[in-house]
């Protein structure tokens, strides 16, 4: 009796696998990464140790790294910047953001190429001058 039940279960398993009933096409797709966005009014601090990267402190424990398309002169020594969102008040990608930084000849607008949330390990590995 046990042998017959095992044989029936094996046959049903083989039939299910060959017809694809047990698997849906969605099961094979990789999970979409969660959107990592922040609101411009959540920016608490910033730091930069070069003129292409700006790290933003968001809330208490999150840090986002913004990479500029080109050089953003003097952003590494200025005491204040503005983070502007194009088309809304949240930033999810580089195309959403722009940094406005003061310069000796007036404000400069620096378009952002990419935005990414740093992990705890990446935050700890930042040089002191680049840690917001």
Residue 11 pLDDT more than 80?
A: no
Q: Where are the domains of the chain?
A: 38-130
Q: CA torsion angle for 82, 122, 92, 47 (degrees, to 10)? A: 0
Measured between alpha carbons, how far is 92 from 84 in angstroms, rounded to an integer?
12
State how far the alpha carbon of 83 is from the alpha carbons of 42, 88, 104, in Å: 10, 12, 19
Reported as type and span, the H/E element at residue 6 is helix 2-19
pLDDT tens-digit map of 47-94: 999 999 999 999 999 999 999 999 998 888 889 999 999 877 889 988
Which residues lie closer than 8 Å to 132 by C-beta, 6 or more apart?
A: 44, 45, 46, 47, 55, 56, 57, 63
% residues pLDDT > 70 (the chain):
73
pTM: 0.72
Q: What is the pLDDT of residue 123?
A: 96
Q: Which SS3 state, helix, strand or coil, does residue 26 take? A: helix
Residue 33 pLDDT more than 70?
A: no
């Amino acid at each position: 009796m046990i042998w017959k039940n095992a044989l029936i279960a094996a046959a049903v398993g083989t039939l299910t696998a060959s017809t694809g009933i047990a698997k849906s096409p969605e099961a094979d797709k990789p999970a979409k990464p969660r959107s990592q966005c922040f609101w411009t009014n959540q920016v608490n601090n910033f730091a930069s140790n070069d003129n292409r990267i700006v790290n933003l402190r968001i809330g208490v424990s999150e840090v986002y790294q913004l990479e500029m398309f080109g050089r953003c002169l003097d952003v590494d020594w200025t005491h204040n910047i503005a983070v502007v969102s194009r088309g809304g008040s949240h930033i999810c990608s580089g195309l959403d953001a722009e940094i406005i930084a003061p310069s000796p000849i007036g404000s400069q607008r620096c378009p952002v190429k990419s935005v990414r949330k740093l992990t705890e390990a990446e935050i700890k590995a930042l040089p002191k001058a680049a840690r917001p």
